[in-house]
Amino acid sequence: MEFFIDTAIVDEIKEINAWGVLSGVTTNPSLIVASGRDFREVIGEIAAMVGGAISAEVTSLEADEMIAQGKDIATWNEHIVVKLPLTPAGLQACRVLTDAGIKTNVTLCFSVPQALLAARAGATYISPFAGRVDDIGWDGIDLIRDIKEAYVQGGISTKVLAASIRHPTHVVQAALAGADVATIPYKVFTQMVKHPLTQAGLDGFMKDWAKRAGASAETPASEAGTNPQAGGVTPQGGSTK
């Protein structure tokens, strides 16, 4: 399963992209507004940074205007994926843009019938909103699983992009449900990388490393020798205790 980051905050994208785990970015009008940046400017900066699929959403509700906006947005960068709402107008725009060779991400999906319609309209990605489905008392991960199963049974190539991810468990569940992509908020990425046992193990390693003669936890190995008689480590890395 590929990882996208769901934000338009460039500093957040830069940090997570440095980990080497990102395949793309998703944005929406609300995220663009939150960034406080010009739409085209921020999308261009993100696309140059990540170099993967970058979803940029239209802001019209009318098919003709969606199509015109989508064609314009697609010229901003070769990695742009035009994001469209799952409405009759959005499906119409999806078909026209797909036929023009433009990649699309149909968003605000909350049911399997909607996902099947988007696939027939040629969507490159479908974005079911797991967290928002959970909010109304249904199971968002079951929705992702059912959409994926329907696509597999129908030989459909549209990628299932799990959206509205709220916590690391959602990421695991989406992967097990067969999602092709999960788009994850910055906060959840920072939660995913942490585990108390990882930190405890690292603290122990650094404490032992600091026992080298003349060394501290921050001293590089090249700048401090070892003193086996002082209870350090041997040059081969074995403990003297």
CA-closest candidate to residue 85, choices 145, 134, 30:
30
So what's the pLDDT on residue 33?
94
So what's the pLDDT on residue 1?
98
- The answer to whether 83 is a known catalytic residue is yes
So what's the pLDDT on residue 49?
95
So what's the pLDDT on residue 216?
60
pLDDT tens digits, the chain, 241 residues: what are they? Answer: 999 999 999 999 999 999 999 999 999 999 999 999 999 999 999 999 998 999 999 999 999 999 999 999 999 999 999 999 999 999 999 999 999 999 999 999 999 999 999 999 999 999 999 999 999 999 999 999 999 999 999 999 999 999 999 999 999 999 999 999 999 999 999 999 999 999 889 988 888 888 875 666 565 555 544 444 444 444 444 443 3
- Which of 14, 71, 83, 187 does the annotation list as catalytic? 83
In one letter, which amino acid is 83? K
So what's the pLDDT on residue 154?
97
So what's the pLDDT on residue 235?
43
Q: What is the DSSP code string of the chain?
A: -EEEEE---HHHHHHHHTTT-EEEEE--HHHHHHHTS-HHHHHHHHHHHH-SEEEEE---SSHHHHHHHHHHHHTS-TTEEEEEESSHHHHHHHHHHHHTT--EEEEEE-SHHHHHHHHHTT-SEEEEBHHHHHHTTS-HHHHHHHHHHHHHHHT--PEEEEBS--SHHHHHHHHHTT-SEEEE-HHHHHHHT--HHHHHHHHHHHHHHTTSTT--TTS-GGG----GGGT-B-TTS-B--
So what's the pLDDT on residue 208?
84
In one letter, which amino acid is 8? A
In one letter, which amino acid is 40? R
